[in-house]
């Protein structure tokens, strides 16, 4: 079946602009996660959605970052007023009822 | 708190050599433990996992045993191949009220296998 998909695969933006990154989880998966991967910081958790519960936002690095999940499926991660330190690969993962998370291919964000 | 510490690389081996990548963890409760692999130009893939103490996860010739007494989950393979060249990440899942939360990753170990 289809895996987790993310779009765009690459995004280049200018400092100060807003960006939106999209994640389509595996159909039927109730949990959805955003992580980011950068050379300096490794793999960091950002935010977690589980069903209809309030999201766990404990990993968001600043209030410039936000995410929503519509209809329990697609999720959008928004970064406002992007900074150069936001450059990273943003990964989305989804999970069903087991403990295994399945990752998408990521969106590589470059802030000039 | 929760954390994962894994052997820093890079690690370079010859084909058919024995591989060990060390991973230790600190955790609240009894999380599941994972090894994920990232091949060049590809996304993260689950390699193996173990959900409780003394469980052994295995896949593609790789093995790791969940050791509660030493808080370790070392990855081993008896005979590596060039195709095993990748970055390997050890991880645990943060438990929230006993339920699954996010993964906490080690910094990754880059493995290069030479023919």
Name the residue with higher pLDDT: B19 or A41. Answer: B19
Confidence grade of residue A23 (pLDDT, cut at 50, 70, 90): very high
Annotate B22-60 with three-state secondary structure.
Answer: CEEEECCCCCCEEEEEECCCCCEEEEEEECCCCCEEEEC
The size of the A-B interface in CB pairs under 8 A is 48
Q: Which residues of B touch A (CB under 8 A)?
A: 32, 34, 36, 42-46, 49, 51, 89, 93-94, 96, 99-108
pLDDT digits (tens, 9 = 90+) for B45-100: 999 999 999 999 999 999 999 999 999 999 999 999 999 999 999 999 988 777 78
Distance of CA A13 to the CA centre of its chain: 17
- What is the distance between the alpha carbons of residues A92 and A34, in angstroms, rounded to a whole number? 5
Q: Do A35 and B103 touch (CB under 8 A)?
A: yes
Cross-chain residue pair A56–B96, CB shorter than 8 Å: yes
- The string of pLDDT tens digits covering residues A49-64 is 998 888 999 999 999 9
The answer to whether the beta carbons of residues B91 and B31 sit under 8 Å apart is: no
Q: What is the mean pLDDT of chain A?
A: 94
């Amino acid at each position: 079946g289809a895996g987790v998909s993310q779009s765009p695969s690459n995004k280049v933006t200018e400092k100060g602009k807003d960006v939106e990154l999209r994640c389509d989880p595996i159909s039927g998966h109730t949990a959805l996660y955003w992580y980011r991967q950068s050379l300096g910081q490794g793999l960091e958790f950002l935010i977690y959605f589980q069903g209809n519960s309030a999201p766990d936002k404990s990993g968001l690095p600043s209030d410039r970052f936000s995410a929503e999940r519509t209809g329990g499926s697609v999720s959008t991660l928004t970064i406002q007023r992007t900074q150069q330190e936001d450059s990273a690969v943003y990964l989305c993962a989804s999970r069903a009822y087991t403990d295994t998370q399945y990752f998408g291919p990521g969106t590589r964000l470059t802030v000039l | 708190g929760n954390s994962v510490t894994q052997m820093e690389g890079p690690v370079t081996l010859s084909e058919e050599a024995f591989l060990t990548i060390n991973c230790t963890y600190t955790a609240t409760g009894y999380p599941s433990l994972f090894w994920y692999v990232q091949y060049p130009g590809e996304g993260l893939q689950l390699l193996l996992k173990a959900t409780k103490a003394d469980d052994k996860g295995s896949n593609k010739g790789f093995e790791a045993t969940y050791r509660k007494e030493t808080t370790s989950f070392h990855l081993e393979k008896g005979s590596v191949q060039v195709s095993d060249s990748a970055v390997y990440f050890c991880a645990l899942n943060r438990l929230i009220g006993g339920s699954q939360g996010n993964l906490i990753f080690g910094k990754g170990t880059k493995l290069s296998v030479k023919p």
